[in-house]
Amino acid sequence: MKKTELEDFYFFSFLKEEELLRLKEISIKKHFNKDEILFYRGDESKYLYFLIKGIVKLYTYDHKDNEVVIHNLMAPSLIAEIVNYEESKFPANCAFETKAEVLLIDYDKFKKEFLLKPEISIFFIKSLTKKIKVLENFINYNISSNSIEKIIKFLIDNESILINLKQVKIAQILNITPETFSRKLAKLKKDKIIQNEKGYIKILDHKKLSYHINNF
């Protein structure tokens, strides 16, 4: 555990200084290594988790015991805050994809002292709305029968985190075999729409990529 600093609470910059100081008092900062587990499906949470640095994955397993990645979260972001809000159990597992820092905020105290503030309510609503959109995208990726469509949609919707996701991880998220994924990328690379260096993808031509997705 590490002592928190006020700069760790930049995402709550709309609060008054005395409120930030109180938030600091009810929080602790913890460092995690890649592949460490933050929580398991079915666990209960005493904390509101906020990812300061790094990337986490929320995942579960299908009936064949294959890992199914539901979502990758990149800092800064709340993690599974709906569990706190509904006082329910975690519906999935959470593991770290990179080294990371997480703020653990005592939720009972946060609920009593902060949750009813309009600014905090709006903050929660925005965060949940963003995650609903991600869930919609996840469903769309997985109901699509066209693997290139899945790939292009993912690249467009998640461009900001491509620098942190190797192509083998993206293939896993989209439930596409690495071999099929590589073949589909080869066409986009040949057309100079993307480049692929050391397993990481970068979009070179957004217009052409959007044209592809609009013509399925």
Amino acid 35 reads D
Instruction: Decide which of 136 and 160 is more confident.
Output: 160
pLDDT, position 170: 84
pLDDT at 86 over 70: yes
Query: 91, 41 in Cβ contact below 8 A?
Result: yes
Under 8 Å CB-to-CB from 104, ≥6 apart: which residues?
27, 28, 29, 30, 47, 48, 49
The band of 10, judged by pLDDT with boundaries at 50, 70 and 90, is low
Contact 152, 212 (CB under 8 A): yes
* pLDDT at res. 82: 84
Long-range CB contacts (within 8 A, 24+) of 179-185? 180/147, 181/147, 181/151, 184/147, 184/148, 184/151, 185/151
- Which is more confident, 180 or 39? 39
Question: Lowest-pLDDT range, 48-52, 172-176, 211-215?
Answer: 211-215
Helix (H, G, I), strand (E, B) or coil at 27: strand
Beta bridge partners of 94: 39, 58
pLDDT in tens, 56-66: 999 999 888 88
Tell me: the pLDDT tens digits for 173-190? Answer: 777 888 888 988 998 899
Domains and CATH numbers, the chain: 6-134 (2.60.120.10), 143-213 (1.10.10.10)
